Every structure is written in structure tokens, then in C-alpha cells.
Amino acid sequence: MDETFDISEETRDGVSIVRAAGEIDIATAPALRGELEATIGRRPDVVVVDLLGVTFMDSTALGVLVGALKGCREAGCSMRIVVSDARVLKVFEITGLTELFSIFSALDEAVQG
């Protein structure tokens, strides 16, 4: 199955939201990395990574997110992840990354903090 990948960025209530949809893997992770680096480079107070439309993530995607979290910390901003798909959430759980990231199940909750 050919899954399309899409990424976009918006600002809501002063919070930068990076929204990804589709599969994040070795082929698409560089686009996510680039968008996150550009967003973090603007030094917002909060970066929300909206993964509600993501259907698959591999270890490359996790590496991008961990790198972005480090970049956020260095830039003095916080990062929140939004994920509700059980398969995607399981990737965070089995790798222990639920302890590292602030994970929310709804975008509005993540934006409000």
C-alpha cells in the first residue's frame, strides 16, 4: 500500500504545531526533521508535534523526535506530542519514550498544556 506523507506547520494561541500524516520512516523522516528544526529555530515557547494522522512510525522517526526534544531544550522551549492511534502509541511505550515525552491524546489538550 502506498501511503502518502504530509507535513505542515501552524501557530495556534502562540503554540507552534507541526502536523504529520501518513507513514514516518527512513524516507519521510528527513522532511519531519527539517520542519521541526525550522520551527524550533524560531524559538517558540511550545512546540506541539501532532501525530494524529500518522499510521506508522519506525525507529528513524523516533530518532527525529528525540533529536527535536533535545533541540527544544537547548532553545528553551517545551515539546509536546499528540498521538491517539494505539499502534503508534505502542512504539512510544515499548521504547520507554512515554517517560521522556509529554504525550497527549488530543490536540486541544496539548496546545493548552
Question: pTM to 2 decimals?
Answer: 0.94
Q: Mind giving me the DSSP string for the chain?
A: -----EEEEEEETTEEEEEEEEEESTTTHHHHHHHHHHHHHT--SEEEEEEEEEEEE-HHHHHHHHHHHHHHHHHT-EEEEE---HHHHHHHHHTTTTTTSEEESSHHHHHH-
Q: Which domains does the chain have, with CATH numbers?
A: 6-104 (3.30.750.24)
pLDDT of residue 3: 62
pLDDT of residue 87: 92
pLDDT of residue 4: 84
- pLDDT of 2 > 60? The answer is no
pLDDT, tens only, 45-103:
999 999 999 999 999 999 999 999 999 999 999 999 999 999 999 999 999 999 999 99
pLDDT, tens only, 3-54:
689 999 999 989 999 999 999 999 999 999 999 999 999 999 999 999 999 9
